[in-house]
Structure 1
Amino acid sequence: MQEQSIGAMLAAARQSAGLTVAQVSAATRIREAMIHGLEQDDYGQCGGAFYARGHVRAVAKAVGLDPEATVHLYDQQHGGAPKPVRASAVFQADRKINLRERRGPNWTMALGVALAIVVVFGMMRVLGGASDQVRVGDVRVASARPSVPPNTPITETPNPAPSKVSAKNMVTVRIKAKRSSYVNVHDADGRKLFAGELKAGKTSTWQAPEKVNVLLNDAGAVTLHVNGKKVKSLGGRGDVVRRSFGPPKPQAR
């Protein structure tokens, strides 16, 4: 199966988020004509691969896709990430630096150092008076240990026990890919659980408390189970679907 292009992914995610091209342009400060070109996989207006990757990252973030995963897919579809520049191409280490050989001692510098020593010594004599002794003030070393009155017990504040998440509030989502498709999974606080391409035949499971948010770029390419139950009427081939799932409902007695 032919993988979905970056432009089609950006257009589908924008439409799923209910955004217009003008709104994406205002959020990213990218011209509307260039955004139209990106959605048509036309990168000629970007000015090169470096700027194209930056525009793809900005638009993906604005429409709700994972920017790093989208740029990674862009690199895969356009010959890989740009090669790093070698230091040897910037710095030429094989150049020889010719230093002039010193011919004899530098008497000017030696005379300057001697004069500085005499001036410093004279100032010390003036400030210190006739005595040649150097007085050292009393220095008290502060103890790193806090002072505690005698016969006073030392108590430590116990660390609070970590809160435990009830198993009743856990949400379990299992996705199996019938063909390769882009999947984005976040928890209730917006933390990323997974973002990228789920390969054909692979099954992945995620757990999170309270709620799990799922974005499917091709709903017909996967089967989805939530809390052990299959989700029906998820969507057709090529449909972009965004769903949220909560913990299982308690059974009535």
Structure 2
Amino acid sequence: MSDLGALLRKAREQRGYSLDDIQELTKIRKRYLEAIEEGNYKVLPGSFYVRAFVKNYSETVGLDAEEVLHLYQKEIPSAVPEQVVEPIQRPRRAQRQSSDRLSRWGFRMLMWSFLLLIAILVYVYAIAKPGGDNVDSADQTKMTDQTKAPEGTDNSPAQTDNNTNKPVEGSKDTNTVPVTPDPDPVPTVPQTTLTLEKTTGRTDYYQVSPGGTHKIEFKVTGGDCWVGINQTSSKGKILLSKTLKDTETASLDVEGPVYLNMAHANKAEVTIDGVLIEDGNKTGSHKMQLTPAAGTETPNAPVTQTE
């Protein structure tokens, strides 16, 4: 067995894949996969396909295909174009452009509705509703006339203190206008932002604010896909490692820095607190490093993504 074959086999066994599983995911025949692990490249249809098969195998087991090809370039036969014997069969990519467009419009409508609701609340409580000190003087006069006792009786309205609305000492009756206290101000909910800081290779680095707990969710469409979440970084504790079938989902509540990894990014959607993280439908493996912004510990709120 070659060094490259040993590396691929170890990565496959760590994820609990059999050669039949790899054959199903990559559409590469099992005897070719066995030949790659044994380093017997003569069995493959030609040197032109060796690199393609190795790259596809590496991505399926969660390895960086470009790094694998670079490290073992001396072992892998040079890619010389040859007559096509057996084309690589790839799963048909799901057409999700219309659904993505609807998702973006739905998010925009939600944000505009939220802003409109805030504006209405501010108008109702701060502008339209009068305070206790703005009662119309004509209404006060009318109320006084209605409660005034007939001449010759002692049931005249009680005199009150203008500042406290309490009856003046010695008065026989009270007739005060109740003052409605101002309502509590509407709390402002801070928005969570997701900012793309840089992209290195197949890894995107995002800064998330505010901090606190966030819900990460994967949804697979168009085939099988392995997904994983590590705590802090790519070498941190494994929080999630799972192969999702078509239409399956997986979610996890996380706090602090996390590292996301997908074997077939074009088959998986990633959302944080229900908002889609755009990845351009990249084929092959795709990684994301999510790091909370410094000094933010505010609980979760609606999420926006900026670049």
Tell me the TM-score range normalised by the shorter chain.
Answer: 0.3 to 0.5
TM-score (norm: length of structure 1): 0.36
TM-score (norm: length of structure 2): 0.31
